[in-house]
Amino acid sequence: MKLTYVPIVFAFDNNFSIPIKVTITSLFKYALDNTIYKVYCIVSNDIDEKNLDSIIQLSKNQRHEIIFLKANNHFNQAHVHRKITQAAYYRLMLHELIPLEDKVIYADVDILFNGDLKELFEVDLKKNILAGVKNLYIHQVFDSLMLKFDYWSKYFFDLKDEYINSGFLIMNLKEIRKTKIWEKWIDLSKNQWEFHDQDILNFTCKNKIHFLPPKYNMTYPLREDEAYKWGLFNENLLLETPIVYHFTASKPWHSKYLNQSDVWWVFLKENTDLYDYFLQKYFKDIPFKKRFKGSFINKVVKFKQFFKKTFHLNNRN
């Protein structure tokens, strides 16, 4: 049996040092027998050593390997706002932090794997810098972004159907080193980008991106019942079994009663020893009113959809 070596990178600070255990557990669970993951964790200086020890334990009695690397300081002056930290920019320096790899998969921590990544990693990037999935949310709000941000109409006016989500990527480190595109990334990180590294990558890698099917980055908008109506992906592609669930915006550990969080909580309970930890933390940290935010709305939407379908069928009969 031929073994396939797949390097994958996560970047995080101490805030995500517990959720990453769920992510890596799902990665290992769905690995095929001939897939070997080399997991690189780019971590900030605030990381708790106890948390690092608990993460490394995930590779115990496994064929996979976990390696920790400290982030460099290239992005100390990077623009951060909302809840985005400097850790979001670490993916922009992987060519330097991981010099022995020519191609890697990069994944955000707020991801749950549901399949093996061997086939994905074998995608030929050719001269492309990145491979990623088109961003349906940006497609949906594109016109308002054009009005709200001057730089958006200047740099992204023709990217409505091509702007990708940067939370799950294949990165061509060899080409990044060759073109020295990373020098632009450092300079641009100081600008007031609304979507931080994601804007930078879409701006600088225009026409050098290989587009992946949506199953490799199933965000909340892509998992909505009528996502195909936006025209970014056909319905058959959206019906494929997700390989990567990506919990953009509201994190599942902060939104237990959001319908799309169910898959994360079920996996957590059935495959880890962290269910009680997250459940207790959820009820302790999340105000009562926010616990059900979105759940009622989701139920109303589903009821309306059910009513419309029922009414339509009755009319046909």
Q: Of 249, 267, 302, which closes a domain?
A: 249
Q: Kindly report, residue by residue over 272-314, the tens digit of the pLDDT.
A: 999 999 999 888 876 655 555 554 444 444 444 434 434 444 4
b/e map 278-293, b = 16+ CB within 10 Å? beeebeeebeeeeeee
Q: Of 221, 249, 277, which closes a domain?
A: 249
Place of tokens 């949506």: 214
Residue 82 scores a pLDDT above 70: no
Q: Are residues 85 and 153 in the same domain?
A: yes
What is residue 130's predicted lDDT score, i.e. its pLDDT? 98
Q: Are residues 52 and 167 in the same domain?
A: yes
The whole-number average pLDDT for the span 83-104 is 86
CA distance 240 to 74: 39
Q: Of 205, 220, 249, which closes a domain?
A: 249
Q: Are residues 214 and 300 in the same domain?
A: no
Residue 106 scores a pLDDT above 70: yes
Q: Are residues 164 and 268 in the same domain?
A: no
CA distance 69 to 79: 23
The CATH number given to whatever domain includes residue 150 is 3.90.550.10
What is residue 81's predicted lDDT score, i.e. its pLDDT? 62
Q: What is the pTM of this model?
A: 0.88
Q: Are residues 157 and 300 in the same domain?
A: no
What is residue 300's predicted lDDT score, i.e. its pLDDT? 46
Gap between the terminal Cα atoms of the chain: 57
Q: Which domain holds residue 281?
A: 250-317
Q: Are residues 74 and 220 in the same domain?
A: yes
Percent of the chain having pLDDT more than 70?
Answer: 85
Q: Are residues 40 and 105 in the same domain?
A: yes
Q: Are residues 305 and 165 in the same domain?
A: no
Q: Kindly report, residue by residue over 13-55, the tens digit of the pLDDT.
A: 898 999 999 999 999 999 999 999 999 999 988 888 999 999 9
Does an H or E element contain 210, and which?
A: strand 209-211
Average model confidence (pLDDT) for the chain?
Answer: 87
Q: Are residues 220 and 285 in the same domain?
A: no
What is the number of domains present in the chain? Answer: 2
Q: At residue 288, what are phi and psi to the nearest 5 degrees?
A: -55, -45
